[in-house]
Structure 1
């Protein structure tokens, strides 16, 4: 293992909204990264019963869904249906149709995909902005 193997693929972004979970997904998402994502979401739900989510994909290279515990996936899906209002995705691939299919029992979740060059529109759609520490990235 080299030092790059330890870099997490899921990176939380600071925003102007406390009830917005914004993350970068960089490269390949391992099962451990997926578990970390669900942990970040649970922490957000503990602070805010209703949240929005922004996902910025950077050189995305797939997810090890098969290696994430089935109970974690089921619980994560159920909790997302209870707590998430809007979800903006930025970059490729556009997986909003897949997410809508998985979360078909949660028609209240509004998904919207934005191209990388339209990132500012995604932030505007969610009524937020990255904090100073995050500007200039992506």
Structure 2
């Protein structure tokens, strides 16, 4: 299933991994928000942790060009250290509803959220990102 990606950290426009992975491979990039999620600081990148009623994470909905989609999906899984079924994965790719800022419409998208072990540690001792907006933070 070719879903758009919701990106909220280093893959956002203007951030380092956008140029390395997404530039020239997308049809559209538009502001969006993911509900029931808390954003935490990581070592140079953020983690989204699912938490019902927890807040909103802001980012972009990125739609890949059809011819780039299969390769991009595999590259992003490697970047995010996601291995399906492996509980040690740094991130887990999940399908979630993301709301487009422009019109308020909900769109199904792939989102990389913190893996189970990472999320557990962050809930106990992590530093939350106020307002769910990571871009522009002093890092």
What is the TM-score normalised by the length of structure 2? 0.28
What is the TM-score normalised by the length of structure 1? 0.28
Structure with bigger helix share is 1
Structure possessing the higher relative contact order (Cα contacts under 8 Å, 6 or more residues apart):
2
